[in-house]
Structures are given as C-alpha cells and as structure tokens.
Amino acid sequence: MTTPVIFARKPEFVHKTCSFCQKEFEFPMPNATTSTIRVQCCFCSKKNTYNPISLTNSNNVANGNGIKKNRMFGTDQEPLETEYYDLLGVSPTADANEIKKQYYKLALQYHPDKNKASDAEQVFKKISVAYQVLSDPALRRKYNEFGTRDVEPEGGFVNPEDFFKQQFGGDRFVDIIGEISIGRDMKEVLQNAAEESDVDTPEFKARREANKNVMDEERERIKQQRIEKLVVNLIHKLTIYVEANEATGEEAYRKMIEIEADELKTESYGVELLRAIGFTYSLKAKQYLGREQMFGLPRVGHILREKGHVFSETLSTLKSAIDLQQSFTQLQEAEKKGLDENEKNKLQEATANKGLTALWKGSKLEVEGVLREVCDRVLSDPTVSKAESRKRAEGLGIIGSVYENVKPDNSEVKSFSE
C-alpha cells in the first residue's frame, strides 16, 4: 500500500494574540512595503501595531501565541517571543535608534493628553513597558532568550507618564537643568485648541482667563524653586575651580568636566542637551568677562548675540507648535472622512515626527531660559568678591566650552532628532 503524499504550501496567514483582549486571531500575510501595519482584532475591535518584516518569520505562524513550538530559549536573531517588538512595530533585529524612534512616535500618538480614545491609556502603558525592556541591552537579551518570564528592570517598571518625561536627559541631567516639563507646550496647544471649540461666552472667557492667571503664577513659583536649586548646584561645581591650584587648576578642571560630559552624552538627547547648556554657559561667561575689556564693547556684542539667539529659538519653537497643531487638525479631519488606513498611518507618522520636533524645541527653549537666569545669579552674587566672581566666570567658560564641543562616539547610535 502506497503512503499518500500531502502537498504543503507556503503559510498564507499570520497567527497572533491580541495585545488587548488576549484572544488569538489570524490575518493574511502582509507585504513589507510599509514600516508598520495595524490589524483590527475580530473580537474586541482594538487595533494592534506590527512591523511587516517581523511577521514573516516562523515565530508568527507556529502556534498563535508568538512562541516557537518545542523551543525553550530564543536568540537575538530569533527571540522566543516577539510581543514587545510587535507592540512597538519593529523587527527583532531593529537597532536601538529605530526602537527609540518608534517608541516616541507611538507615545505621542497614544499619550492620554492627546488621544481621547478609550484604549489610549492602556496602549500608552503597554508600549512604555515594551520600550523599558527593549531599550536596556541586558533586559533585551534576557527577553529575547526567555520571553517575558522574570524580565523586569531593577526596582520595577517606571510609571509610564514619568518614564516619558525622563526621555530628554533623564535623571542624570536634573542637577544641571532641573526637571523640564516635557509635553507641556504640546499639551497646552491641544487644550487651547479644544477650548476654542467651546461656547465662547463672556463667562467662559472670564473663567478661562482666571484659570490662565492661576496656572501662570504656579508655573512661575515652580520655576523659581528650580532656579534656586540649580544656582546652589552650579556654585558648588564652580567652587572646585575657584579653590583649585593656580598652576594646574584649569587643566585638571577641564579634564574633570570632559569625563563628566563623556558620561552624560550617552543619555537620551545627551549630546543635544550638552551643546545647548554649553552654548548658554559660554555666552554668559563671555558677557561677564567682556565687561573688563575696553569700554565693555565685547560684552555688548555678546548680549546682542544672546537676544538674537532667543528670538530665533522662540520663533522656531512657535512655528513647530503651530505646525504640530495643523497636523493634528488634518489627522482629525482624515479620521472623520474615513481615510485609507495606509494614508492615515503616513499622516500619523508625520504628526508624530512633528510632535518630537516641537517637544525638543520647546524643552530646549525652556532649559536655556532657566540656565540664563541661573548664570546671572551665580555671576552677580553680591556675597562674593569680584575676584571670585571672575574665577566663577572662567570656570563657567571651561564647562561651556567642553559641553558645547562634545561629539557623539562613532559607536554611539546617532540621535534621530539631528
């Protein structure tokens, strides 16, 4: 008796587990012409985001749960599970820069301040957990090998909102720039836009103006507390130079700052932040030292340069915020008209990119404004002698020079903001 032969065919459907309701579903194998696709669950109607390239490996057609059959361990090339990669819509072989970029885009897209969908906060939390694992090389290796079993940062996962706020510099920059209000500019733009659509009665206008005054006062109070802390920190840092040996002090101090900068530049937006801080420090140091030169003319030049820089940065930030608001409006109109899913994805990606630009420019403008006040207080301190103030200015100039000229390592992932 002849054994019958069954002819196999290539897999046509991808098997996945919905990230929201945890039920299994399948969908046709997509082509890889787009960076991401969104698949609507047939059970809960929520939309899951995937990277087409990651869906073509056998992980996704094996047993429907993102885990290969008969495998206890995975590798960096073929992870045991792909759920976290799928949540961010990237391939398991994606580099750190691509993962970071995709996280920012999705975080902006699903941030509860912007997205009022019922599942937005849940998605925001999920992508935060996925990124906290995949952005840590050690945790990522562990996840690739063992899946979600016991894969958690030391001390547990950070609150998604706090984690998102830390992405510009993080905790290591707090002593230098304080806690910046990530997303504040974008949030206010969105809130103001929503209020414009409300009934514009005299009572509403009065209430809105009163609320604005209260918020402005609170913001100023928080800002002054922040400046006071940073003044103390900067004076402490400059005291090392002020009290250093005259002969070797400058060289040793510069070396110390270079070591610090090498560590700080590896943080998120580290290079960009150091350059912004360095520019402000350098300009303020030159302004102070320029007073001692003939008629103080060099100082006047540096003051004019500062005013020109502030005007240019403010204009650029406002333009980015307006551009972002226009993109949000276009996206809302597209959703009302039922735009093709592929076109809507492109519009969402463009909006997210503009959001990143607006967030960075707003944060940079805020940081530079705060540091200008900090430097003015440190260099005009009435409790110290002119000689000590001059030494502080020299030390500030050294820090500024090192920070302003910092360069990313060749092996370092280039920031996608550049």
Could you tell me if residue 376 is left (phi over 0), alpha (psi between -120 and 50 degrees) or otherwise beta?
Answer: alpha
Residue spans of beta strands (DSSP E) within 32-84:
37-40, 47-50
SS3 40: strand
φ, ψ of residue 17 to 5 degrees: the values are -110, 130
User: And the tokens for 241?
Assistant: 């130079």
Close Cβ partners of 172 (under 8 Å, ≥ 6 residues apart): 263, 264, 267
Residues 6 or more apart in contact with residue 12 via CB below 8 angstroms: 28, 29
Q: Indicate the DSSP class of residue 47.
A: E
Q: What phi-psi label fits residue 212: left (phi over 0), alpha (psi between -120 and 50 degrees) or beta?
A: alpha
Determine contact, residues 400/223, Cβ cutoff 8 Å: no
CA 161 to chain centre: 12
For residue 187 the two structure tokens come to 């949030």
Q: Which residues contact 56 (CB under 8 A, 6 or more apart)?
A: 29, 32
Q: Which helix (H) or strand (E) holds 108?
A: helix 96-110
- Report d(CA 161, CA 111) in Å as an integer: 9
pLDDT one digit per residue (tens) for the chain, 418 residues: 567 777 666 667 777 777 666 677 888 877 655 556 778 888 877 777 776 655 655 444 444 444 444 456 778 788 888 889 988 888 888 888 788 878 877 887 787 766 777 888 888 888 889 988 998 888 999 998 888 877 777 666 656 555 555 566 667 888 999 987 654 544 554 455 445 444 567 776 777 677 777 777 887 888 899 999 999 999 999 999 999 877 778 999 999 999 999 999 888 788 999 999 999 999 999 999 987 654 555 666 667 777 777 677 777 777 877 777 777 777 777 777 776 777 777 777 777 777 777 778 888 888 999 999 999 999 999 999 999 999 999 999 999 999 999 998 764 444 444 4
Measured CA to CA, the distance from residue 95 to residue 215 in angstroms comes to 41
Please indicate, yes or no, whether the overall pTM of this predicted structure exceeds 0.85: no
Residue 404's Cβ-side half-sphere holds a number of Cα atoms within 13 Å equal to 13
pLDDT of residue 417: 42
Count CB-CB contacts under 10 A for residue 91: 20
**What domains are defined for the chain?**
13-165 (1.10.287.110), 220-404 (no CATH)
Please enumerate in sequence order all residues whose Cβ is within 8 A of that of 358, keeping only pairs 6 or more positions apart, or say none: 185, 186, 317, 320, 321, 323, 324
- Tokens 């996962």, residue located: 157
pLDDT at residue 31 in the model: 67
Let me know the angle formed at the C-alpha of 86 by 83 and 87, rounded to the nearest 5 degrees: 85
What's the rounded Cα separation, in Å, for the pair 329 and 334?
9
Residues written for the chain: 418
State residue 282's pLDDT score: 95
